[in-house]
Structure 1
């Protein structure tokens, strides 16, 4: 037979643990939202042909972040994060090589300098992968790394 005092202590313990887990989940979600917003701004800038997100997209960031906090993130955002954190995005040739070559013939990496700089500054995962695969003996060069990344984002 369990004493009533132990039951109350157990209840308080579970309440405290539950509260700590809720706080951790909230913190993780907020961090994820910030990363997703950065990726979204880069994609918006890419699709607009701009080198930097416009002030309009920056002003939308707060309202979008508020919306993401209340409803989670979209499948697109999750897929973007997966692409950004997957070393095969940068290190392996795309499966649809003919389509990639066609896309690459109309792609100008020089136009993406600002976006690349921001991605390297704001996304530690991309920066880490870049340092691991670019310029190493079995890695890829700078252009290949970024062309493969932007192609995957384009296909997404």
Structure 2
């Protein structure tokens, strides 16, 4: 019987507690841990969704900016490449012209020195011209001719002559 009263007491207490909770819920007040936890969880989920939304927005904005920059810079880069290629070709052409001028000057100067009897000076001119265009046949003939003359006067030039003779 004692157990029965105690059981009845608990149920009465439970009823009172339920009624109090219902009254508080009607006034929209959080009454239990479970509902406040679920509210907090819902708020966290909403914030997380907003955060992911902002992250996605930021990422798409950055990608859009990069793509726009690439599209805007593409014509500038292509013009620069064209200019760079043209300039490189002009520099190569200028170097070829300068080499040809220097070669012609050295050949003519060497011929004049050879004609006037300055054999060692002519050899030096031909040697410099040989550094510019080593495969020139006329130059090689002039070098051999000059080295033959120098070899008769000094034996040290005979070793160099052996290199140039075919």
- TM-score, length basis structure 2: 0.31
Q: Which has the higher contact order (CA 8 A, sep 6+)?
A: 1
Computing the radius of gyration over CA atoms, which structure comes out larger, 1 or 2? 2
Give the TM-score taking structure 1 as reference length.
0.32
Going by fraction, where is helix more abundant, 1 or 2? 2
